[in-house]
Amino acid sequence: MPTTYVEAIREGLWEEMERDPNVLLIGEDIGVYGGAFKVTAGFLEKFGEKRVVDTPISESAIVGASIGAGLMGLRPVAEMQFSDFISCGFDQIVNFAAKCRYRWNAPVPIVIRAPSGGGIHGGPFHSQNPEMWFVRTPGLKVVAPATAYDAKGLIKSAIRDNDPVLFFEHKGLYRRIKEDLPAGDFTVPLGKAKLVRKGRHLSIITYGAMVWVALEAAERLEPEGIDIEILDLRTLAPLDRDAVCETARKTSKVLLLHEDTQTGGLAGELTATLTERVWEYLDGPILRITAPDTPVPFSPPLEEAFLPNAEKVIEKARWLHRY
């Protein structure tokens, strides 16, 4: 039976909790209620209050307590009810968690799960993509899976990892995508991108929900004879720069796609990486397709205009292919 993205995360958490008694969950409404998105429904009954800790509305304490528990050898998985509230626990993440290993050799093996992304009519405070605040902060790992397989494999790797990992799960994918997952334990390594489509003419480098937009665009461009390669980054920090450069060297033309807003988005970092490392291989400008630099608007026609979609990708891909 196919497994949804949200179910895949749930399974990953469940299996890791069964495997390792040091794994525990901390967050708002995750116990009795099973979490705002029901990711942890049934966990309290199975694992008990000690390992499924309902908290007050205190994002800073959720992260801080996870750090404290992590320093003592536990493996806490903290949930932000929406990634938009991660800014309320910001200092703990970027200053406490991120710098412990570097400063005093103290590992902080925590995971912070944060449902992110738009397209669900959530408006400015339930739709954000905050990944770049963390990608730019040395000491943090940042993950953003696009598929159910990766979601499960990456949450497991994140929990087993000895560094603080931000795990951005895209709300829009939770129940929209599903696939058959292999039985038994499997993981997906942090820091490794995945080539999800091979192509000759042009590379789209992307992550998260936009992987599906890229796939749709690629399929629709195929009849036109434009053969698109798609790289799903999966982990944003540390970034798999080798894979990024490899696809660029192969196709010589690169489109960068993300749902996050443009200025300061990951596309800039990718562009710099490419011009530094594979400049001579490029046969055209590197183009960005991203949300514009505004808050995420609520009203459907505005949000639709705001989000990148296959249409916008196709247009730029055609242009770049002709270049």
Partner 1 sequence: MSAAELITPHPGGLASEQAEVAHRGLYYMSLMREVEDRIERKLYRQGKILGGVYVGRGQEAISVGTSLAATPEDVLLPSHRDMGLFFVRGVTPARVFAQYMGRVGGLTRGRDGNMHMGDLKLNIISIISAMAACVPVGTGVAMALRYQGKNAVAFCFFGDGATSRGDWHEGVNFAAVQKLPVVFVCNNNQYAYSTPVEKQMGCANVADRGPAYGIPAEIVDGNDLLAVHEAAQRATAHARSGRGPYLMECKSFRMTGHSAHDAADYVPKDLWDQWSKLDPIPRLESKMIEQGLATQGEFDELHARVRAEVDEAVAWAENSPYPDPSTLLDDVYE
Ligand X SMILES: Cc1ncc(C[n+]2csc(CCOP(=O)(O)OP(=O)(O)O)c2C)c(N)n1
Q: Looking at the annotation, which residues are catalytic?
A: 126
Angle between helices 266-278 and 241-251 (to 10 degrees): 60
Contact partners, residue 121, CB within 8 Å, separation at least 6: 298, 300, 303
Judged by CB under 8 A, does residue 64 bind partner 1? yes
**Partners of residue 195 on adjacent β-strands:** 231
Residue 121 found at the interface with a copy of itself (CB under 8 A): no
Q: Which tokens is 207 given? A: 């992550």
Q: Which of 49, 91, 222, 311 binds a copy of itself (CB under 8 A)?
A: 91
Considering only residues 166 to 205 of the shown chain, the ones binding partner 1 according to CB under 8 A are none
* Contacting residue, 103, 182, 225, 280, with partner 1 by CB under 8 A: 103
Judged by CB under 8 A, does residue 87 bind a copy of itself? yes
Q: Is 19 in the site for partner 1 (CB under 8 A)?
A: no
Calpha distance 41→285 (Å, rounded):
47
Question: Residue 55 binds what, of ligand X, partner 1, a copy of itself, none (CB under 5 to 8 Å, by partner type)?
Answer: partner 1
Assigned token pair, 300: 């459907």
Closest chain position to ligand X (CB): 85
Instruction: List residues near ligand X by CB under 6 A.
Output: 28, 57, 59, 81, 85, 88
- Residues in region 289-308 near a copy of itself by CB under 8 A: 293-295, 297
Decide whether 180 or 311 has the Cβ nearer to partner 1: 311
Question: What span, in angstroms and rounded, lies between the C-alpha atoms of 22 and 69?
Answer: 10
In the chain the first and final C-alpha atoms are separated, in Å, by 45
Is-cis flag, bond preceding 238, omega within 30? yes
Task: In angstroms, give the least distance from the CB of 115 to ligand X.
Answer: 11
